[in-house]
């Protein structure tokens, strides 16, 4: 049975970094939602232009757009599953994921919550803004919105996976190697 793993946390908690380490080692497809959305924006498609309005402001794209994006997920026969980073990010998306799991008969391994403080998130966002060209890391208003979105959406989402017995909390303040080793204990 193919596996599904989700990595969640505040902006800059290390979601994509960890997904990129785990995916090749376990032969999983890495599906980074933020990266996927930025690629769509880059393509210049009509969908990308619509997505850009949300991403630039640091707010979540609508369920309607998200439904279109997740329809593009294709798992190759040689892949043993998918590691999502940044999806689901709100309760309605957890419902979308439930449907995917049911329809394709995936095994849901866990919702890994990488815990970092607001201070750590801000430090890492500032460092990343200097190193990369992400507009939503450079724009103070977008950064604030992204942190606020996390505060608003995380409580019901974490509750949902806790009730399902699938919530795995990881100390995201630790080194990249230590966090990775923690996650791997469950894979």
CB of 128 to ligand AMP, least distance (A): 10
Smallest CA-to-CA distance from 55 within 31, 39, 74, 70 is with: 39
Comparing CB distances to ligand AMP, the nearer of 124 and 146 is 146
CA contacts within 13 A on the Cβ side of 91: 11
Comparing CB distances to ligand AMP, the nearer of 27 and 132 is 132
Alpha-carbon gap, residue 3 to 6, rounded angstroms:
10
Alpha-carbon gap, residue 102 to 77, rounded angstroms:
18
Smallest CA-to-CA distance from 4 within 101, 124, 85 is with: 101
Alpha-carbon gap, residue 160 to 91, rounded angstroms:
8
CB of 47 to ligand AMP, least distance (A): 13
CB of 63 to ligand AMP, least distance (A): 9
Q: Which helix (H) or strand (E) holds 108?
A: strand 107-115
CB of 136 to ligand AMP, least distance (A): 6
Comparing CB distances to ligand AMP, the nearer of 27 and 141 is 141
Comparing CB distances to ligand AMP, the nearer of 44 and 77 is 44
The residue number with the shortest CB distance to ligand AMP is 34
**What is the C-alpha R_g of the chain?**
16
CB of 25 to ligand AMP, least distance (A): 21
Interface with ligand AMP (CB under 6 A) = 11, 33-34, 37, 54-55, 58-61, 66, 86-87, 89, 93, 136, 146
Alpha-carbon gap, residue 51 to 185, rounded angstroms:
36
Comparing CB distances to ligand AMP, the nearer of 27 and 176 is 176
Alpha-carbon gap, residue 101 to 97, rounded angstroms:
6
Comparing CB distances to ligand AMP, the nearer of 61 and 83 is 61
CB of 58 to ligand AMP, least distance (A): 5
């Amino acid at each position: 049975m193919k596996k599904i793993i989700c990595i969640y946390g505040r902006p800059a908690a290390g979601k994509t970094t960890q997904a990129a380490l785990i995916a090749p080692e376990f032969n999983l497809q890495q599906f980074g939602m933020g990266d996927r959305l930025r690629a769509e924006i880059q393509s210049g498609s009509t969908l990308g232009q619509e997505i850009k309005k949300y991403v630039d402001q640091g707010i979540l794209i609508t369920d309607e757009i998200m439904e279109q994006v997740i329809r593009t997920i294709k798992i190759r026969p040689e892949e043993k599953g998918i590691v999502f980073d940044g999806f689901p990010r709100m309760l309605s998306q957890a419902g979308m994921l439930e449907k995917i799991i049911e329809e394709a008969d995936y095994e849901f391994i866990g919702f890994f919550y990488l815990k970092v403080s607001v201070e750590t998130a801000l430090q890492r966002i500032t460092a990343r803004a200097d190193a990369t060209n992400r507009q939503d890391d450079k724009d103070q208003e977008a950064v604030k919105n992204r942190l606020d979105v996390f505060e608003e959406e995380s409580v019901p989402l974490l509750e949902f996976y806790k009730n399902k017995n699938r919530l795995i909390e990881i100390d995201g303040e630790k080194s990249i190697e230590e966090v990775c080793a923690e996650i791997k204990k469950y894979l």
